[in-house]
Every structure is written in structure tokens, then in C-alpha cells.
Structure 1
């Protein structure tokens, strides 16, 4: 039966409470099924997956914590709110750690119950929307995107590391999630590591990696110790029980030539390389991307729906998009949020792009002394580091020496300031 009403499973061994909750929720237009004990709950859960489970902790046959773990193992996305008349803080913490979205104490007031249900369903809807965005097939009908999707489908189940190369904002993160969804460890977690969060403990890395997908973003920015550890784990085949995806916007061979990256590590991770194109190289995909971002922002962020005219979409196709797909997404979000009209036209696009160009250019040529100290300092750092990179022909190692900085610190600073060394 098709319905838009959320289905809520109420599990409680006390008939009066069970029926009271059922009546209250049905009055609020929810679909409700009930279970008097753990076995009935298991049967109802397997018969039809509910949108939300209200689960009592203390029951005669199977306790609620055990059911919580079981239901979460069967479906990690299911939303569960625990209920208890004599719960403790320790029990609430344990339930939350195991994946419960909330903990409601009895006796239940109607207001407390409905608010808990409403919040749980809202959070579930947001998580579903986020997961849908992360795991969706990369958008685009251009020959480049079709080829990339075909390549992903062919290589996703290989055991070798996969390297994603492309400019910042081009869509490497999206393709990493797509690879994970098609890979051998699709049922495992997608664990993203950055240069700042990369653990220097081999046991911790192996524990994180086991039967999961490890995505290392900004690979070139790993410090020397992290590079050496990753190389050791790969050479000794200690990361064989995971899917390893790495991403970089910097030329790794150039980093090797400048002694900024281990040559052995490059050989280990570049067996399968996917080049993610800049948006300017597949502008024919912009109309489809616009529709996709409008749908995502209106459902996920609750922004008002607005229609982009053909002329507006054509203007977007003729923009350079130095920030790639991420920049397009941000412009769409700003237009949905700030526009006063149901239709987005060329004038709106021009204003949005002009404002963005002004913001991007700010500080490139001179320091604005009207800015707060922190912003003025960032402006100076950008001018200063661009000059050092120009003096060294884009050599980050030499620029770091001129600036008196550690190389990895300079890499992080360049990333935070949005400076792409390939453009120097």
C-alpha cells in the first residue's frame, strides 16, 4: 500500500500505554502498528520497515537495548526512540551510543511524546536526504561524465587503491561516495580522513579500515610521518581488508620532484587513477546540475523552490566556474535563499556572479584596512604567499623555505586560502 503517512511501530508490554500512544499518534495522522513484546516487534519489523520505532527498554522476553542493537544491525538507517519509566543516565547514554535518536522518560505527556516523534522524523528525513545526496549517481549527460561513470562501475570492486585527481570543487568527494556504493565494502562505513585527522597510530588506522571504505582527502598535504606510515601499511598489505580511495588537487609527480611527496607512495596509490574534469570542460551538464541542486536544497535545506529560466541557465553555462561544481552549488543555494521572485532570470545570475567575483578578488591586489584584523591578516597572507609561489615558479617546498614555514603547514595554509599552485 502506498502512503505518505509515516509508519510508527510502538513496542511496549503495558497494554494501556501501548494503546494510549497508538490513539494519540493516529489522531495526529500517523500510521501506527503495535507490539506487546520483543518477538512481536521482530515480526512487525520484518513485515514492514517502519519510519520510526518507539521502543520500551524493559520488557519480559527481550529487553529494548537488545532489540535496538538487532534492529540497527538489520538496518542502520532506522530511527529509534527509547522509552522508560525508570531509566538511568547510564542507560540513556548506552542507548544513544548504540544508535537511538532520543530517550523519552515515562510517564509520557502528549506534548513530550509528539515533540519527540516530530524531532525524530525530522532528523530522519534530513539524514535520508543527506545520504541520498552522498550516494547518488554523479549528475551529467556529457561524454566525460558518462565515461567516468562507466569507469567507476568497472573498477569499484577492484582491491587496488583508487586515486581521484581534479581541481578543488570538481566532484572528487561525490565520486568517492559513488565508488563506495558500488564497491566490495558498500555495507561498511565511509570514513573520511584529512591531513589534520590522519592518525599516526597503525593499529587505529587498521581498526578504522577493517571492512570499511577509507577516503583520504588532500593526499598531497599529508605530513612526512603520515606518508611514511601509509606507505608501510600498503607495502605490508595491512590495508587489504578495505577500499582505499585517495584524492588530490595537487600534481603528485611535481610534489615528488620537489621532495614533498614519497615516490614509493605515489607508485602504491596511482595504479588506478580517475581524472575528474573541471566544470568548464563539461558545461553542457550545467542545466542538469542546476535542477539537481534545486531539488536537493528545497528538500534537504527547506529552501523555497524557484525556477531557473532558460536564459538564466544559459548565462550559467557561459561562466568560467573557477570553483567548479561546488561554486555552482553555492551560487544556486544563495539564489534560492535571497531571491524575491519565483523565477530566477539573467539579472539575478549577473548579480550573484558579480557579488562572488568581488568577494573572490578582495585582497588580491591590496589590503583593505577597513576590515577586521583577522580578515585583513588573511588578505595579507594571500598576497604574500602568492608572491612567494610566483618567485619559485609554484615550487611549494622552495616557497616554504622562503617564507620560513614547514612545507605541510604551507600546504594547509594554501588550501585554507583557496590558492591552487597549478594556477601559479
Structure 2
């Protein structure tokens, strides 16, 4: 795998700011080119094809939003972070709709700038991996998966809202992206919002959704205000120019019966409903899923290839999988990281399944539930990361893979929590 850092183009008409950003990024071993106006930026962008652009909004010859649209049209895969000293919410929304990955304000905090660059690069890598993973058809030849693929192909060409129902870990997010790739707005963005990040500004929500796919995860947990706004936008037809996909673990009729969900919104969303099966209901797909996840992890995560014996695969088929496909993926990743031979046998699987068992309520004795949430979260993170380090004999790289974190982020987190991996 190449370790060369991406080429970054810095576009700003203020020479002091431009050179300061360049010096700081080069100190961090990034490759950097600069441009002082739109004309120079176009030339550099075409000739040198940077992977990341830091783009000022206000310039003398062309505004940054127009330049952003040009660059995204030339290269939809380029990552662009906007900079502005006079930004507004409307400007940030327009930049996001036009393809910007982030928006940072001047005067620039160098720590915030470096963090924005790191996040942009990480997100670029993750999105590339996700595009490859999510664009694939759902894995499995069982009757249930064949029926689900057939249903997806039938409904994806319509603009009506789609409701996905499935237990946690069944792959609702991946399946929503699959519907996006099949749908009318596959040339637009796949925008995900959760109950916590749901915009309560109608203009912002409509702007984000327009000509894109809007995916609302855990729709049953939306606040009353968010439900009312979503229902109003659907009834008024303001969310027509988008593909709306909502997901829930609970049948909405049960949430309505508890008085926690709007019946009117339910009728707006319940036009097309797709049920994602639990893994225990299509265990015949497990061998194919095993091969898929092994190939994925060895290619994308650079893990060593290991072969699952027939006995190991048979044990996986005869496990209940309360965490569904996501749990299977985690078990396979654990086995690839911690395995010390070319073959993974049934004994290895037994050990990994034992490690996957969730703690019982009376096992969490190390956490003080009387403290504020922030402190309790830090305490849990400490317990969790110490467990991962113990499982990997203090190997931070392997622990990062088990935790699903970037190695550099894990190092920072360990320092913040006062954990010395060498002492574990």
C-alpha cells in the first residue's frame, strides 16, 4: 500500500494566509501547491490533479462556490474544503450541496485546519471503500436475499419514500446505499442523518435533500419536532425532488401504539416497505458472506489472508447471530487479526464467538452510573480500549483494527485517557 500523502491545492488570494497554510501542511509532510486566484487554480487543478483542495470563497476573479462546482464537474471524486472569513449558514449549505466535504471559518485555527485536512483525507478513503462495498449487490443466493434484490430493483426507480425494517446489524445502511445506486438520484449524493443530526430548519433539510438520496436512520427515534417537520414537508410536496429512505429496527405500528410516533407521518412513509431478514433466517448464505468479508478485509484493511475450514464455516452456520451480519463481519475481522496460522478452524471460531458475547448488566461494575455522561463515556472508553489492547497483547495496530479506528486516532485517544500500551 502506498504511504505517500495526497497532493493538496491551497487557493487563497491573501499571500500571508496562503503561505502560512502551505508551510504548516508541508511540516506535516503533505505535498502542497498554491494558487492566488481562480485562473491559477484552474490551471493547477487541470495539470496536477490534486486529491484535496482548500478553497477560499471570496476571491477577486471568481467566487469559490463557482470554482467548487467546476472542480466537482471535472473530477467528482476530488475532496474540497471551503474556507471563509464571512461565512453564513446559507453559504455553508450551498457549499455542502455543491459537494464540499467541510467548511472552516477564518481566522484559521491551525489545529482546526489540520484536523479538517485529516478528516477530509480519512473520509475520502472511507468513502472510496464504501462506494465499492455498498455499490455491490447484497450478498447471498438464499430465497430471502434473492427476493430482496428483486424488490429493490422494482422499487428503486420510483420517487416514493422507502421504509427499511430490520434488526440491528442486518445491513440497513448498506442496503440503503444499494437502493441509492439503483435509483433516480444516483448521480447525486447519499446524505445520511440520524435523530441527533436531523436538521430542524426546513430550508436546510430541503436544500440537503434536493436531487440527492436522503437516508434517515432510526426514524422511529426522531423527536416530535423532527417528525412534525418531516410530515409537513412530505405533505406539502417539498421533498419530491429526492429519494427518501428511512430505516427502523422497530415496526412503526408498535411505536405508534406507545404514543411515540406520528400516525400521519407513518402513512406518509409506509408506501413501500422492505423487510431485511435476520441472519438466522438465511444461514445458508453464511459461507458466501465469509468469503466476501475475508476478501474485503484482506483487500481494504490489509489484513493477512486466512482460510476458514469447512468445520469452522459449519460452526458459524449453527450460531444464533443476535448481532446479525455486522456481528459476523466483526467475528471474521477478529479472526483475521488475531489468527496465527493460515487456517481458521472450529476452535478459533469458538474463541472468537465467546469474545463477542455482550456483557450482562451486572458485569459493568467498573462504571460509575452516578457521574455525568461525559465522564461515564470516558470511563467506558478506557475499559473498552484496555480490553482491545489486552486481546492483542498491546499491539496498537491490531487493536485499532478491532476497534474500527484509525491507528493515529487510537494513539491520540490512548494519550488522552492516560493509557500506555507498553504497560498493558
Distance 1:134 1:343 in 2: 28
1:177 aligns to what?
177
Distance 2:371 2:353 in 1: 23
TM-score by length of 2: 0.64
Quick check: 2:162–2:269 contact (8 Å CA) kept in 1? yes
| Structure 2 CA distance for partners of 1:376 and 1:290, relative to 1, 3 Å | farther
Quick check: 1:52–1:120 contact (8 Å CA) kept in 2? no
| Structure 2 CA distance for partners of 1:311 and 1:38, relative to 1, 3 Å | same
| Structure 2 CA distance for partners of 1:43 and 1:208, relative to 1, 3 Å | closer
Query: How far apart are residue 372 of structure 1 and its match?
Result: 3.3
1:302 aligns to what?
302
1:317 aligns to what?
317
Query: How far apart are residue 121 of structure 1 and its match?
Result: 9.4
2:233 aligns to what?
233
Quick check: 2:134–2:175 contact (8 Å CA) kept in 1? no
TM-score by length of 1: 0.64
1:157-306, aligned counterparts within 5 Å?
A: 157-306=157-306
Query: How far apart are residue 131 of structure 1 and its match?
Result: 2.0
Distance 1:352 1:183 in 2: 38
1:347 aligns to what?
347
Q: Deviations over 1:352-389 (max 9, x none)?
A: 112222x34x22xxx247523259999xxxxxxxxxxx
Quick check: 2:166–2:276 contact (8 Å CA) kept in 1? yes
Q: Deviations over 1:314-350 (max 9, x none)?
A: 1111111011011111111111111112211111000
Structure showing greater Rg: 1
Distance 1:160 1:52 in 2: 36
Unaligned runs of 5+ in 1: 12-36, 82-87, 102-118, 379-424
1:371 aligns to what?
366
Distance 2:270 2:343 in 1: 46
| Structure 2 CA distance for partners of 1:306 and 1:377, relative to 1, 3 Å | farther
Quick check: 1:126–1:300 contact (8 Å CA) kept in 2? no
Distance 1:120 1:242 in 2: 26
Query: How far apart are residue 295 of structure 1 and its match?
Result: 1.8
- RMSD over aligned CA atoms reads 4.7
Distance 2:213 2:55 in 1: 34
Query: How far apart are residue 133 of structure 1 and its match?
Result: 1.5
Query: How far apart are residue 293 of structure 1 and its match?
Result: 1.3
1:143 aligns to what?
143
Distance 2:175 2:165 in 1: 11
Q: What secondary structure does 2:274 align onto?
A: strand
Q: What secondary structure does 1:140 align onto?
A: coil
Query: How far apart are residue 127 of structure 1 and its match?
Result: 3.9
| Structure 2 CA distance for partners of 1:313 and 1:54, relative to 1, 3 Å | same
Quick check: 1:68–1:100 contact (8 Å CA) kept in 2? no
Distance 1:56 1:243 in 2: 30
Distance 1:308 1:230 in 2: 47
Quick check: 1:129–1:296 contact (8 Å CA) kept in 2? no
Q: Deviations over 1:125-181 (max 9, x none)?
A: 554223212322211111111111111111112011000011111111111001111
Distance 2:298 2:176 in 1: 24
Quick check: 1:331–1:352 contact (8 Å CA) kept in 2? yes
Q: Deviations over 1:272-330 (max 9, x none)?
A: 01010000111111111111112222222222222211211111111110110111111
Quick check: 1:215–1:246 contact (8 Å CA) kept in 2? yes
Q: What secondary structure does 1:159 align onto?
A: coil
